[in-house]
């Protein structure tokens, strides 16, 4: 997939929740048949728990003053009771019908408001899955000691105002355990009555870290950046993007530890939003086999904005620990992919995933909706109609435009007010006939400058266009009650939502549902909202273009009823089809699909150092076969800079010094490079140009496998590569004796990848059909080589001439190395011994055809367990290798370990000569 070719797919409005759930059940059934473990549980990791917690410490005995002493009673004053007479027990019995008094709970738990779409989606999954909700408790309030409700109250509204906050560090382990026990019985009012259990698991955070994380890095750095603002644009004083990085790391680590504690094999893990972007990679380290999804609820900016972030690579690498990363819209997913390519240099797979050392993160998008059924029921609340009638009476004879936003710099309130002023300027017939009711709720971070700007603009419009009996703008800066909110949405003749950048905006969807029972009024949406691409029947505008917005307002106010109805019906279908319930079910479906993909079907285990050492020490002859780039040396932007490290040279010299070892470097590099950097190591065999040439250990000359092959195709390939080099700035051609390679590492990454795909298609569908060549896509390069020459043929040659080898260690990192791993699949199903026919790499160098025909097959001494094929990269990398290591340094470390083990065991050349 590339930016230049893939088109955006529109949402399917015919999908149903029942269909998605049926698909989920089918996927689970198929996975279970394949013996993929599934627990039936989904872990949701969110910044907050959907509850607020208040704490009142239970008085301790030492805190209660002692009452005065009671005078002793005479024995004759108290008649003996039958119980005392029978059991000789001095304790008085408890009254009948009473239970032993339980201590009053120190905790009070109530529903937390906000993020209603996400929470309702998670609640809906209880119909099919058991769930664990992991989140921070939030600030713990101090309150009077009252018994906590085990279910959320039936009526909405804030609880009694707290007197102060309780520091998490002041709580003991018993206090924390008490809340965790209480949450085991908690059931919110929105949970399905017959649904499966939702467990609420608190994450305990240090107060300083918690606020440095949320109020610091999240709100001062990430949130502005994701909405196309830099931190200094929203800060009131000098701001550093790194000032709160440490608490952001600490909190993400605390969440990852908590998830690991509750995880069971087969759980699905969904991590939500930008507060926890490092958690996926942290979980990948501790739970390498877990199925992890990340959903980003905010917008994701273009790579040109994102690359301004100092910690850009850490954030991207943290996100790429997930198996699946989902965004609200296709464009956000493209921005993320572009950032991974441009900032980190990672490659995109054919299906659009991001490849990080073999671990592939799939990228997708799935917009969040609202709980349409719940909103529809809320619009029927008995308190709405009286307020609706009052609004109609108050503004009788006038058109009503409604806006409701947070007073935030990205919500476009200022632009909306200016566009309304432009409406009154350009269409003066509306003066006295239209009012704008704008409600602004307080934002998470106060902005006195923005409040003042809005107030001054409202006063200016009212002063310029108002009169004693007409006020054009009514601005209410307050949090309004639900009845007032739905009455306002229902009475509107036009809804106007103009954020400068936004992810999902629930007000737009609630407006559509509220209008179903009233006027079917049109809706104006900013094109910079994530949801705008799914609501094509709204009037979409650029909020910066005041004339366009004013014209859209006029059009909406004068729209014919039949057009209103048509647009409303389409919007209503979208909103009631793509609900929060459908969104949550689709997330479960997508992660299950990812779990069943080939990339996750087989996790390659890390190479066992103990087994490796045991087979190495007991073998009388050993083969070591190494790729170079990405295996013994890390991949670098400038190929000539990939020189072997001192540790690599030490390990190779030590291995080749042991006469029991046969060591080869099998690389795509040319002869000159290998001789320059490794030629001084005595006893080291080398193969250059992916098997085109070989220099045996101790030899001074190279053997050419291609001298008897038809190489005339190289001229045709060179002409094609020249054409693409001219079109791709920064690319270059490398001509070797047996192959030819086009490199685009220094080109624009997305354009280079696109051109690579185009060139590959041309070569495979034209030249490769007529010539004995194969086309290989490497890391930032495209290589063409003869069919008869590859690394696998070299491995077979080495095995053929060393049939007595009892140990093989073969390591590589890319597609060309898979030929080596394939050549080492020596044992058919159930076979215990292996035989090798003369390979092409042996017969090509035979003196004549008769000599080649007389070469016999050989029986190999190797055992299946003594072949250690090792891929360098992530455990989920698709490979024929049996084992894996993560980075080239671990290959070198294992080599040095074997050398030291042999020294200690006394099996090196020096030790054996003394026997």
Name the residues annotated as catalytic: 627
**Neighbouring residues of 382: CB distance < 8 A, sequence distance ≥ 6:** none
CA distance 429 to 411: 28
Q: Quick one: which of 721, 629, 625 has its CA closest to 668?
A: 629
Q: Backbone phi, then psi, for 198, in 5-degree steps?
A: -110, 120
CA 105 to chain centre: 39
Tokens 């991001």 locate to 354
CA distance 529 to 526: 6
Q: Return the DSSP state at 744.
A: -
| Residue 411 to residues 220, 496, 546, Cα–Cα distance (Å) | 17, 11, 15
Q: Quick one: which of 454, 494, 448, 450 has its CA closest to 474?
A: 454
Task: Identify whether the C-beta of residue 625 lies closer than 8 Å to the C-beta of residue 811.
Answer: yes
Question: What stretch of H or E contains 722?
Answer: helix 713-727
Q: Quick one: which of 66, 59, 157, 62 has its CA closest to 113?
A: 157
CA distance 430 to 461: 13
Q: List, as one string, the DSSP characters of 61-77.
A: GGGSPPPPPPPPPPGGG
Task: Identify whether the C-beta of residue 326 lies closer than 8 Å to the C-beta of residue 366.
Answer: yes
CA contacts within 13 A on the Cβ side of 30: 14
CA contacts within 13 A on the Cβ side of 506: 19
**Neighbouring residues of 819: CB distance < 8 A, sequence distance ≥ 6:** 691, 790, 791, 792, 793, 795
Taking residue 805's Cβ as centre, other Cβ atoms within 10 Å add up to 22
Q: Return the DSSP state at 494.
A: E
For residue 455, the SS3 value is helix
Tokens 């609640």 locate to 123
Q: Quick one: which of 270, 273, 129, 121 has its CA closest to 584?
A: 121
CA 613 to chain centre: 37
CA distance 635 to 641: 9
Tokens 């001229």 locate to 715
Structure tokens at 686: 């080398």
Task: Identify whether the C-beta of residue 132 lies closer than 8 Å to the C-beta of residue 44.
Answer: yes
CA contacts within 13 A on the Cβ side of 485: 18
Q: How far apart are the first and last CA of the chain?
A: 62
Tokens 């093989």 locate to 808
CA distance 399 to 421: 15
CA distance 584 to 574: 16
Q: Quick one: which of 468, 471, 516 has its CA closest to 492?
A: 516
Task: Identify whether the C-beta of residue 754 lies closer than 8 Å to the C-beta of residue 731.
Answer: no
Task: Identify whether the C-beta of residue 799 lies closer than 8 Å to the C-beta of residue 836.
Answer: yes
| Residue 442 to residues 448, 526, 839, Cα–Cα distance (Å) | 11, 21, 76
10 Å CB burial of residue 690 (0-12, 13-18, 19+) is buried
Q: List, as one string, the DSSP characters of 350-382.
A: TTS-EEETTEEEEEEE------HHHHHHHTT-T
**Neighbouring residues of 244: CB distance < 8 A, sequence distance ≥ 6:** 212, 213, 216, 217, 220, 221
């Amino acid at each position: 997939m590339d930016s230049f070719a893939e088109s955006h797919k529109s949402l399917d409005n015919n999908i149903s929740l029942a269909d998605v759930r049926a698909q989920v059940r089918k996927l689970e059934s198929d996975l279970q048949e394949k013996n993929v473990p599934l627990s039936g549980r989904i872990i949701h990791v969110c910044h907050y728990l959907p509850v607020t917690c208040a704490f009142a410490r239970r008085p301790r005995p030492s805190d209660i003053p002692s009452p005065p002493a009671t005078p002793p009673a005479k024995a004759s004053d108290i008649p003996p009771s039958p119980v005392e007479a029978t059991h000789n027990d001095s304790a008085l019995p408890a009254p009948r019908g009473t239970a032993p008094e339980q201590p009053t709970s120190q905790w009070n738990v109530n529903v937390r408001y906000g993020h209603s779409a996400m929470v309702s989606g998670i609640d809906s999954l209880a119909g099919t899955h058991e769930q664990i909700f992991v989140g921070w408790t939030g600030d713990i309030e101090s309150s009077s000691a009252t018994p906590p409700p085990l279910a959320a109250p039936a009526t909405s509204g804030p609880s009694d105002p707290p007197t102060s906050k309780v520091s998490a560090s002041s709580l003991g382990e018993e206090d924390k355990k008490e809340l965790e026990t209480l949450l085991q019985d908690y059931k919110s009012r929105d949970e399905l009555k017959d649904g499966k259990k939702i467990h609420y698991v608190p994450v305990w955070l240090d107060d300083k870290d918690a606020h440095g994380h949320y109020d610091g890095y999240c709100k001062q750095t990430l949130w502005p950046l994701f909405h196309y603002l830099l931190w200094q644009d929203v800060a009131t004083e000098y701001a550093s993007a790194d000032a709160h990085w440490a608490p952001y790391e600490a909190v993400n680590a605390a969440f990852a530890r908590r998830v690991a504690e509750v995880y069971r094999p087969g759980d699905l893990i969904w991590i939500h939003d930008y507060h926890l972007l490092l958690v996926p990679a942290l979980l990948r380290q501790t739970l390498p086999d877990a199925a992890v999804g990340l959903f980003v609820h905010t917008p994701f900016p273009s790579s040109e904005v994102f690359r301004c972030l100092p910690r850009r690579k850490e954030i991207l690498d943290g996100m790429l620990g997930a198996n699946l990363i989902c965004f609200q819209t296709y464009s956000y997913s493209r921005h993320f992919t572009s950032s991974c390519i441009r900032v980190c240099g990672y490659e995109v797979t054919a299906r659009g995933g991001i490849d990080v050392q073999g671990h592939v993160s799939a990228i997708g998008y799935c917009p969040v909706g609202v709980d349409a059924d719940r909103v529809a029921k809320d619009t029927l609340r008995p308190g709405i109609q009286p307020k609706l009638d009052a609004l109609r009476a108050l503004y009788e004879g006038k058109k009503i435009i409604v806006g409701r936003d947070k007073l935030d710099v990205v919500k476009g309130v200022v632009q909306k007010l200016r566009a309304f002023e432009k409406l009154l300027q350009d269409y003066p017939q509306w003066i006295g006939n239209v009012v704008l009711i704008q409600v602004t709720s307080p934002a998470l971070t106060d902005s006195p400058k923005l409040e003042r700007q809005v107030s001054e603009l409202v006063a200016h419009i009212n002063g310029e266009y108002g009169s004693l009996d007409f006020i054009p703008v009514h601005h209410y800066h307050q949090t309004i009650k639900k009845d007032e909110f739905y009455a306002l949405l229902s009475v509107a003749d036009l809804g106007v939502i103009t954020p400068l950048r936004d992810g999902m905006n629930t007000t737009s969807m609630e407006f559509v549902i509220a209008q179903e029972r009233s006027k079917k009024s049109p809706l104006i949406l900013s094109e910079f909202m994530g949801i705008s691409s799914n609501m094509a029947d709204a009037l979409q505008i650029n909020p910066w273009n005041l004339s366009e917005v004013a014209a859209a307002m006029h059009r909406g106010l004068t729209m014919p009823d039949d057009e209103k109805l048509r647009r409303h019906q389409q919007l209503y279908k979208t909103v009631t089809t793509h609900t929060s319930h459908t969104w949550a079910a689709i997330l479960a479906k997508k992660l299950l699909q990812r779990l069943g993909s080939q990339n996750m079907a087989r996790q390659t285990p890390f190479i066992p150092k103990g087994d490796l050492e045991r087979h190495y020490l007991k073998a009388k002859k050993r083969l070591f076969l190494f790729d170079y780039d990405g295996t013994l040396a890390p991949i670098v932007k400038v190929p000539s800079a990939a020189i072997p490290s001192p540790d690599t040279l030490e390990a190779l010299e030590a291995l080749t010094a042991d006469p029991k070892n046969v060591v080869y470097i099998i690389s795509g590099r040319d002869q000159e490079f290998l001789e320059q950097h490794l030629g001084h190591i005595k006893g080291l065999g080398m193969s250059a140009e992916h098997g085109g040439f070989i220099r045996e250990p101790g030899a001074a000359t190279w053997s050419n496998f291609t001298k008897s092959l038809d190489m005339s195709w190289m001229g045709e390939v060179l002409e094609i590569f020249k054409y693409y080099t001219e079109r791709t700035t920064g690319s270059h051609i490398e001509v070797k004796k047996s192959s030819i390679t086009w490199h685009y590492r220094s080109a624009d990454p997305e354009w280079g990848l696109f051109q690579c795909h185009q060139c590959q298609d041309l070569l495979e569908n034209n030249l490769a059909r007529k010539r004995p060549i194969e086309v290989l896509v490497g890391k930032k390069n495209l290589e063409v080589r003869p069919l008869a020459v590859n690394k696998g043929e070299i491995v077979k040659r080495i095995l053929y001439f060393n049939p007595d080898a009892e140990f093989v260690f073969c390591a590589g990192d890319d597609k060309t190395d898979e030929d080596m791993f394939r050549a080492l699949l020596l044992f058919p199903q159930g076979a215990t011994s292996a035989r090798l026919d003369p390979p092409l790499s042996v017969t090509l160098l035979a003196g004549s055809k008769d000599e080649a025909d007389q070469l016999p097959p050989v029986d190999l001494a190797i055992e299946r367990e003594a072949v250690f094929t090792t891929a360098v990269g992530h455990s989920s990398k698709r490979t024929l290798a049996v084992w894996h290591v993560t980075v080239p340094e671990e290959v070198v470390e294992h080599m040095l370990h074997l050398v030291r083990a042999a020294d200690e065991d006394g099996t090196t050349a020096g030790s054996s000569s003394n026997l």
